[in-house]
């Protein structure tokens, strides 16, 4: 593993506004705010999930809390927070409502394209200021498994056509980060990243996100019909340059923190249900379920595994923050090593949380399956989002690197 010691000071300051080292006071401040938001979301999380409505109210709550501007530099009106702080907020929200935690996580990564796509700080200021002043939530329409959107160059910009599924945050986002392939001209074949405000003529949001879990993530289909894209909308072409391509490890890291929060939420709810049970199984020598050795053993195993995921997540969150602070000093080797560490977290967080959300029912018993508890929400959420991209391919990434020192090709999944 590459040693980062002493490299931050020599990194060109122009490449990044991010610095390492979320200090304790900052982390405590934003974690307290995230906890307040989580408490509000927890009050009716089950009811809102069942209603499956577009989360406009939840989006307003995120804005009012200040969480949406946490990562914007203070000089542009933002919170000046660090990535370890933002990822902690995602984890905290996921304990109560993983759908809204997903909205926030994707927002942070989408907004981060201001830096990933624009090397010159002078080009970023207008985006940061507009995002902070408008308290923008950044949705996205970048799903690479769909046929590409097409951009036809014009004298003033481009014309956009096509359709994208799984556009997270699209309906509630103030702006939408879009990726589309340029069909002609000197950049033909390149993928352009650009931003469209909600309500742009020719953009249609289809309310078709009706899935098993993550039901309030607003991950709808968006269609584009002769949409005018100006040069002022453009962030830049997607690149395999090591720093710019950190966007993919970033979103995978957000997934790990999201899954960890779901596990912690399921454990807390499970403890509440177990401790509320008045008796024990009739063959047990224990007086209550919470004293039964089989229940304690299962809960202890799940709790210990979750603690292991938490330790890894906190370590990798800091590692990500350290690498981002290097700016142009980030190399392909360093980017690849970071992606492997994050892939390890993706594997373990996905598998531990999926197993936990399933097995916790063995400790809570039949009564915990009553509809009034909504205890299935944790399992439905992790089961849905853990399928975002195959975990087996993350295992392959880790194994290929461990055995052969190989890195996977750069993409929006690796």
Phi/psi at 131 (5° precision): -65, -40
Alpha-carbon distance 74 to 70, whole Å?
Answer: 9
Predicted local distance difference test score (pLDDT) of residue 14: 58
- Cβ neighbours, 10 Å, residue 161: 16
CB 256 within 8 A of CB 249: no
CB 113 within 8 A of CB 193: yes
Q: Which of 140, 20, 130, 7 is nearest to 76 (CA)?
A: 130
User: Which tokens in the block code for residue 316?
Assistant: 């990798």
Average pLDDT over residues 23-38: 93
Alpha-carbon distance 350 to 357, whole Å?
Answer: 11
- DSSP secondary structure string, 207-273? -----SS-TTS--EEEEEEEEEEEGGGEEEE----TTGGGHHHHHHHHHHHHHHHHHHHHHHHHHHH
End-to-end CA, the chain: 18
Q: Is the model's pLDDT at 4 over the cut of 70?
A: no
Q: Which of 169, 175, 168, 232 is nearest to 199 (CA)?
A: 175
What percentage of the chain has pLDDT greater than the value 90? 82
User: Which tokens in the block code for residue 364?
Assistant: 């809570």
Q: Is the model's pLDDT at 356 over the cut of 50?
A: yes
Predicted local distance difference test score (pLDDT) of residue 273: 94
Please return the burial class of 293, using the count of CB atoms within 10 Å of its CB with bins 0-12, 13-18 and 19+: exposed
CB 107 within 8 A of CB 138: yes
User: Which tokens in the block code for residue 322?
Assistant: 């350290």
pLDDT in tens, 60-84: 999 999 999 999 999 999 999 999 9
Phi/psi at 175 (5° precision): -135, 160
Predicted local distance difference test score (pLDDT) of residue 279: 86
Q: Among positive and negative, which fits the CA dihedral 335, 341, 344, 345?
A: negative
**Mean pLDDT score across all residues of the chain:** 93
Alpha-carbon distance 137 to 197, whole Å?
Answer: 10
Average pLDDT over residues 254-282: 94
CB 233 within 8 A of CB 194: yes
This prediction's pTM:
0.94
Alpha-carbon distance 324 to 318, whole Å?
Answer: 10
What percentage of the chain has pLDDT greater than the value 70? 96
Q: Which of 339, 414, 412 is nearest to 144 (CA)?
A: 412
- DSSP secondary structure string, 18-68? --S---HHHHHHHHHHHHHHHHHHHTTHHHHHHHT---HHHHHHHHHHTGG
Alpha-carbon distance 254 to 84, whole Å?
Answer: 10
Give, as one character, the DSSP assignment of residue 159.
E
CB 227 within 8 A of CB 202: yes
Structural domains of the chain ordered from first start? 24-137 (1.10.540.10), 140-237 (2.40.110.10), 246-404 (1.20.140.10)
Q: Is the model's pLDDT at 8 over the cut of 70?
A: no
């Amino acid at each position: 593993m590459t040693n980062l010691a002493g490299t931050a000071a020599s990194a060109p300051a122009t490449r990044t506004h991010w610095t390492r080292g979320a200090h304790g006071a900052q982390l405590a401040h934003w974690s307290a705010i995230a906890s307040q938001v989580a408490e509000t979301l927890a009050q009716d999380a089950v009811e809102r999930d069942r209603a499956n409505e577009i989360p406009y109210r939840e989006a307003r709550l995120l804005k009012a809390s200040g969480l949406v501007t946490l990562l914007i530099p203070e000089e542009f009106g933002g919170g000046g927070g660090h990535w370890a702080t933002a990822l902690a907020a995602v984890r905290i929200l996921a304990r109560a409502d993983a759908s809204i935690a997903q909205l926030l996580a994707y927002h942070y990564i989408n907004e981060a394209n201001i830096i990933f796509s624009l090397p010159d700080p002078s080009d970023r200021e207008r985006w940061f200021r507009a995002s902070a002043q408008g308290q923008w939530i950044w949705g996205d329409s970048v799903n690479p498994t769909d046929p590409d959107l097409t951009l036809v160059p014009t004298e003033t910009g481009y014309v956009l056509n096509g359709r994208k599924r799984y556009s997270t945050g699209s309906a509630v986002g103030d702006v939408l980060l879009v990726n589309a392939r340029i069909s002609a001209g000197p950049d033909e074949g390149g993928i352009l990243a650009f931003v469209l405000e909600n309500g742009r003529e020719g953009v249609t949001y289809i309310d078709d996100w009706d899935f098993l879990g993550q039901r309030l993530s607003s991950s709808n289909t968006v269609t584009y019909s002769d949409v005018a894209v100006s040069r002022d909308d453009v962030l830049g072409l997607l690149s395999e340059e090591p720093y710019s391509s950190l966007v993919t490890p970033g979103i995978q890291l957000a997934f790990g923190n999201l899954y960890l929060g779901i596990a912690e939420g399921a454990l807390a709810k499970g403890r509440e249900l177990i401790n509320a049970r008045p008796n024990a199984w009739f063959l047990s020598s224990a007086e209550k379920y919470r004293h039964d050795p089989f229940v304690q053993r299962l809960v202890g195993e799940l709790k210990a595994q979750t603690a292991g995921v938490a330790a890894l997540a906190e370590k990798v969150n800091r590692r990500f923050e350290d690498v981002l602070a290097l700016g142009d000093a980030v190399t392909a080797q360093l980017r690849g090593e970071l992606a492997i560490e994050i892939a390890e977290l993706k594997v373990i967080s996905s598998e531990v949380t999926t197993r936990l959300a399933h097995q916790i029912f063995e400790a809570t018993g039949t009564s915990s399956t009553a509809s009034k508890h909504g205890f299935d929400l944790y399992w439905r959420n992790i089961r849905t989002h853990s399928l975002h991209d195959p975990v087996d391919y993350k295992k392959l990434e880790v194994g290929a690197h461990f055995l052969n020192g190989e890195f996977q090709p750069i993409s929006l999944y690796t």
